[in-house]
A and B are shown apart, each in its own frame.
Chain A
Amino acid sequence: MTLVMVVDDDQDLAEMLGIVLTGAGIDVDLVSRGDEVLEVFRHNPPDLVLLDVMLPGLDGIEVCKLIRAESMVPIIMLSAKGDTHDVVLGLEAGADDYMVKPFRHASELVARIRTRLRRTNADVLGLLTIGDLSIDVTAHEIIRGGKKIALTRLEFDLLVALAKEPGRVFSRDALLSEVWGYRHSTDTRLVNVHVQRLRSKVEHDPEHPAIVMTVRGVGYKAGVSGAS
């Protein structure tokens, strides 16, 4: 069974989330305080964390940073604020995705969770290259010059999406549907923030990217393989 950790101080909402997720065949671990998350997380590592922003004890953004510091587990932030500032803060702290309360449909939340949990890119297997990086899709590893680079699952997916079609220029909308599983959304902040984070991990010089290239006014494309 898949295990999702739900961190929310609102007991009723947490319970409701539990009912919905259990109904979808997902096990749920409920935590109500920010400062308790890490302990539970270490004791019983979940497959995904559903994290509210406003938490007693420790702020959701801080919790997100702490989890990120020791795990690449997918994190979806739950925010009651749709304001750019909070969303970007959450994404920069390491969240893969976010959902603004109230959700349109509970099914949408379940769908997002499943997207983040699915085995990445079952359609491609074996080795891919992008720039001077090689991607072992099967082993879920990024290697540069014999050294592994640790990426979150989402960052990995983003890199694979670009690498498997080297010539293609991906619009932000295309990446949103490819990587995040959004049907149609115009929220390009998700893409922008994650591209930045990905670059900070894989680029030699994030100011002059050679792996994830920007195509001005359109979107992104993979850097030329073999080039450094």
Chain B
Amino acid sequence: MNRIVKKVRTSLASKVIVSTVLLSLGVVWITGSALYSQLSAGVKQVNLETSLAEARSSFFNAQYEFLLVDGAKNSIITKTVQEIIISSTAVSLNQDRKSIFLSRISSVLDTGSEIEAIDYTTVTDELDVTSFPTELRKRVQTSDLVEYQYATVSYKNRADADVLIAGRRIAIPDSGNYEMYFVYSLTNQNTTLALITKSLLVTGLVLLFLIGLITWLVVRQVVKPVREAARIAQQFTEGDFSQRMQVESSDEIATLGTAFNDMALSLESQISRLENLSRVQQRFVSDVSHELRTPLTTLRMASEVIYGQRKNFDPTIARSSELLVAQLDRFEGLLEDLLEISRFDAEVAVLEPADFDLVGLIKRCMADLLGNENGQQSVINLYHATEQVMIKADVRRVERIMRNLLSNALDHAEDKPVDVTIISTSTEVGVGVRDHGPGIEPLVLSRVFDRFWRADPSRARVRGGTGLGLSIALEDARLHNGELDAWGAPGFGAHFVMTLPRIAGEQISGRPIRSQPFDYPQTN
């Protein structure tokens, strides 16, 4: 049922068909009812008139017969009564059954007379006379005319039946006044009426079905192009711009098709223009990359050769060679970061997921960074519940994120320990990196992921970041469908939380680690 309701709600064709059929049902119902009431009234009228005419003639005949035998012997009168009963109950062609009921109202002789007058009271067909309507009997007993009524009567050997009763007062010689009733069965009439009802119903249903069918055919002509347009629009969404609608006529539907195709053409050309621009941009980045890297390679090798010989130079040249090497490192780092950012901007950054142990990777990053410590006393505490946390992600990118967060934390830790926490659920893994340094101002916090933005320009750069590290880390995390959150408050240090899906590309449903640490006093 729900499916049908849903179908009607979502399909224009079904909607039109259902409403048309419902409206037609109303029309068919009203016309059908009117037709039926007219037909049935006619049938009943004809039946009534026939029956009454027959009854009148039977009554007249009976009266006539009794007049003829007035004064005759009782045996002759009795015979006449029997003949009348037989002839009156004879069934004509279109009649089902006719019963007769003869009942004496009063005797000709005074009560108490020694000779009892013969009583001709008769009932045929096992009719139960008590089920006769008393009101009709009263009318017959008092009136001189033929009286009639529709009624339901009982039989002793049959089910109750709808009948037409016609009655009249009649005198039988040497006996008294009688009520004489003819009971006409209505079975035939009812059969006719049932037949009419059935025909009307069948006609109505066929009509409804045909109306539905016609509506469907008509609606389909309109809906088909609309569906086609929807299908093509869907394919557009999926990136296939080659689809076009077929325009075969010159009506409104054809106008829709033409307009749709024009739109498609315009979209296609716009998109290919943008794609082309993007290709040019990528090409440019790639070329810049190549053109810059080659001289940089030469520079590096040359500087290394000079650097290797620095012991033979005087101190200022030796120091210059050291600076040269260091600045080339920095320049190269900057170039790498810029290229990476441009890859993200051009949306050509590709994820290369592999299964690996996150704990092992973080330990390796820590070892590398602590090995490079320039006399600082910062220590990293690592908290993890399980020995291994296997995830499927891009190792290079995750390593880059972790190195960035760790070296940032070490830079700002002011020789206080840095806490690294790993918490994993079945679907995601969170890594929190917390330092207990000076913390981050709220204003600053909103900009930490901005490119080339530095919290404190006057700060010495121990690790020589490029100013792009956190922006890249954020892009890296998002490329995995993960997230990177930053929290900080003056005096409470900073907390960076990386959340990644256990399998790169799946959605994260929450944060295993909250970015606001638990030791921060709640304000709300």
Contact = CB atoms under 8 A, between A and B. Distances in A.
A102 B332 contact: yes
B293 A80 contact: yes
Given A54-B290, A84-B350, A10 B305 contact: no
A23 interface: yes
Contacts of B305: 19-20, 23, 106
B301 interface: yes
A118 interface: no
Q: Could you say which of A20, A54, A81, A101 has the most chain B C-beta atoms within 10 Å of its C-beta?
A: A101
A103 B356 CA distance: 27
A102 B297 contact: yes
A102 B289 contact: no
Q: Could you say which of A16, A20, A84, A188 has the most chain B C-beta atoms within 10 Å of its C-beta?
A: A16
A135 B332 CA distance: 44
Interface string A11-33: 01100110110010000000000
Contacts of A188: 354
Given A16-B298, A23-B305, A106-B301, A81 B332 contact: no
B395 interface: yes
Interface in B324-342: 332
A106 B395 contact: no
B162 interface: no
B263 interface: no
Given A19-B305, A81-B290, A101 B355 contact: no
A226 interface: no
Given A81-B289, A186-B399, A101 B301 contact: no
Contacts of B296: 101-102
Contacts of B293: 80, 101-102
Q: Could you say which of B302, B364, B396 has the most chain A C-beta atoms within 10 Å of its C-beta?
A: B302
Mostly, the B contact residues are helix
Nearest to B299: A102
A20 to B, nearest CB: 5
A23 B308 CA distance: 11
B294 interface: yes
B171 to A, nearest CB: 118
B506 interface: no
Interface string A75-95: 000001100100000000000
B352 interface: yes
A182 to B, nearest CB: 14
Contacts of A106: 300-301, 304-305
A16 B297 CA distance: 9
A217 interface: yes
Contacts of B350: 84
Contact of A16 (B301, B354, B355): B301
Interface string A176-215: 0000000010101000000000000000000000000000
Contacts of A23: 305
A43 interface: no
A84 B353 CA distance: 13
Contacts of A54: 290
Given A12-B295, A80-B290, A102 B395 contact: no
Q: Could you say which of B297, B301, B302 has the most chain A C-beta atoms within 10 Å of its C-beta?
A: B297
Contacts of A147: none
Given A102-B332, A217-B355, A13 B286 contact: no
Nearest to B336: A82
A80 B297 CA distance: 9
B439 to A, nearest CB: 34
A101 B294 contact: yes
Nearest to B286: A81
Contacts of B332: 102
A105 interface: yes
Contacts of B300: 102-103, 105-106
B371 to A, nearest CB: 13
A80 B294 contact: yes
A80 B291 CA distance: 8
A19 B308 CA distance: 13
Q: Could you say which of B296, B301, B354, B399 has the most chain A C-beta atoms within 10 Å of its C-beta?
A: B301
A102 B355 CA distance: 29
A158 B138 CA distance: 125
A175 to B, nearest CB: 15
Given A16-B302, A84-B352, A217-B355, A103 B297 contact: yes
A186 B395 contact: yes
A103 B395 CA distance: 21
12 contacts: A10-B294, A10-B295, A13-B297, A20-B304, A20-B305, A23-B305, A80-B290, A84-B352, A101-B294, A107-B304, A186-B395, A186-B399
- Of all A-B residue pairs in the complex, the 8 with the closest CB atoms, nearest first, are A102-B297, A80-B290, A80-B293, A101-B297, A101-B293, A13-B298, A102-B296, A16-B301
Given A16-B302, A101-B293, A186-B356, 18 more contacts: A12-B298, A13-B295, A13-B298, A13-B301, A17-B301, A19-B305, A20-B305, A80-B290, A80-B293, A80-B294, A81-B289, A84-B352, A102-B332, A103-B300, A105-B304, A106-B304, A106-B305, A107-B304
